[in-house]
Structure 1
């Protein structure tokens, strides 16, 4: 059954598997991304402030200020590149650039700028309307395998983390990334970032309730 709309979803996440990959570099990427983490802490603070300001602007004018929109998209783009490089995909060994702008990096994120946004939806879409998606995202990113811990409860390894670990171990021993795992990881990340853009008031179109796997956005009209 064809469940796709007549137009592509205006939030686009891509990630091209950039092989060959180093067998061992993934072991130290947590150290290598520290400079990015430091910058992203401040960028996400700015993102939160910008989203609140944009929310009031949309409420009174029906428009998302373009400068704020470009900044928030840039923050998400930066974050996705770092995650693609590190432990949300391990899709490339090419170090992420320090920029909000689009580049030739193998991972990218973009959102079509909306000319008008609903004033009423801004009050409910980020919490009430997004609840079904929050539940799905929590299941994919928060659910996983329970392992024993030394504390009172058990530690949970998220599904995303399990898949990335499987891919890393396969790369370590074979120098080849399992393609099915990569495509599934991109689907999980794509779902998450679509919901993030919707909750951050960037678009009014409701995110599709489907797992679009693979490095690129689905072609409109495909089953």
Structure 2
């Protein structure tokens, strides 16, 4: 088996070994200022994506300033998810920033593509991504009238944390895999890369240097 290259969307989430037993109960309240900001940033994200669509169609390039902005929004949303929502891996409050911060335990990077396909930009976000959408929906949202695996596993993890003071490593790694997959698909659908997301659950805090194909 040949090693698979690192995907151009890299998601990091380092578990804080001293994460609180109980703070997860109120983190979603503490994160409300971030959620309000992200609501407006998400509107801008969509608008920038539309502008980028036409720019790629005409020039085969995603304008760098627009690219960096949307990567920043994706990074910000991941930090909030990591802190308060779907990972709950740290008690360190997220920065109000679009910029990368190596000191924060969660981060996201996307390699800037020098050239993007005019043809793919027409179909990848709605047609080619359909299988990925279905898998991510199953992992995150589950079936109709039921909680998805992401929410259930996160709840199990924090209940274990509450009673034992330890975040189960296996659950943490699996949740990171789900979050990483969903972020890769979002970046692909947002036209940030032409590289199709791999059908694999890359678990763990750091992006693997290579994974078996």
**Do they fold alike, i.e. is TM over 0.5?**
yes
**Equivalent of 1:39 in 32, 37, 40:** 37
- Residues 122-168 of structure 1, C-alpha deviation per residue, up to 9 Å, x if partnerless? 00000100011011001101116xxxxxxxxx841111011110111
Q: Secondary structure at the match of 2:210?
A: coil
1:180 alignment counterpart: 170
**Equivalent of 1:19 in 12, 17, 20:** 17
**Unaligned runs of at least 5 residues, structure 1:** 145-153
Counterpart-to-counterpart distance in 2, 1:30 and 1:81: 13
1:112 alignment counterpart: 111
> Are the equivalent residues in 1 in contact too, given 2:79–2:107 (CA < 8 A)?
yes
2:182 alignment counterpart: 192
Q: Secondary structure at the match of 1:13?
A: strand
After superposition, the Cα gap between the structure-2 partners of 1:175 and 1:221, relative to the gap in structure 1 and judged at 3 Å, is: closer
Counterpart-to-counterpart distance in 2, 1:24 and 1:176: 11
Counterpart-to-counterpart distance in 2, 1:3 and 1:17: 30
2:134 alignment counterpart: 135
Counterpart-to-counterpart distance in 1, 2:195 and 2:212: 20
Q: Name the structure with the higher helix share.
A: 2
Once the two structures are superposed, the pairs formed by residues 62-211 of structure 1 within 5 Å of their partners are 62-103=60-101, 104-143=103-142, 155-211=145-201
Number of positions where the alignment pairs a residue of Structure 1 with one of Structure 2: 212
Structure with higher Rg: it is 1
